[in-house]
Structure 1
Amino acid sequence: MTPEDRVENQLEINETVFYEGGPARGDLILNLLFGLTVIGIPFAVGAIVRALWLRFRITSRRISVSGGWLGRDRTQVVYSQIREVRSVPRGFGAWGDMVLVLNDGARLEMRAVPRFRELEAYIEERRESRSKASAPAGFAPPARESA
């Protein structure tokens, strides 16, 4: 393999980062305000842990979520594995929660995602373009007719 081939291979796997960052700041602020009450303390602790260790990275090829205790858990999903994207607005629509339903039935939850509508549209666009690109060519089995 020549040095030119290595450079060419690196260019082929180049990813464009669409979003990289942590959860929405409004989630932390709102939950800290709720934490002033006894009932809101667990929510405030959860928001602090999310703010410290949860990170999202959405690129042109995959979605990576780092979280867990000290940010040690990492999950990566490529767009061809995603069957469905669901989202729910939080914080009066300023941020939202997203669930990625995978082809094998597993679910990846992304909480307090900023710009969630824009990110949901981007993920749907990438998912649809990947599914069209990976569609079977040639003799595909006939589609089932529902009764």
Structure 2
Amino acid sequence: MARMTNLTAMCEDPQRREALTTDLCALTNQTAADQSGLKGMAIKGALGAAKKVDSNILEKVINRVQPELLEDLQPHWQKYREQEGAANFGDFLAEHSHEIAEQLVALADRSADKIDNQALAKVYQTVRGKAAGLIEEALPEMGRVIEKHMQSA
């Protein structure tokens, strides 16, 4: 089965975009559920508060940022496809986790700057300091999810 070469092409097919959004939402929910201690309470509380404002907020946000997320990951996808070594895209992302996490935090910040709901903006500020660590933890699985969808073309 041939793999697509451009990640953003997934956004052009509504069914594939929805499927990727669903899987990324599941990953986000699982990442939050896996947190413990004070950090876990803050993350779970923030996600719960956001869902009280809008029960579909996670799906809406992931769907909205998906094109930019995939565009930001495209150079890494290209390097992964050109290089030998990593067993899968998730492993490749893990090898470069700090750099990629910082890039994705910047994406989250740009998205948060567009929030026009004070309650949601406050929720984001609550978890902002923990964002890089959460993203680094989730990168391997996020990479595997994205690769699965790239291969299903």
TM-score, structure 2 normalization: 0.31
The structure with the largest alpha-carbon Rg is: 1
TM-score, structure 1 normalization: 0.32
Higher strand share: 1
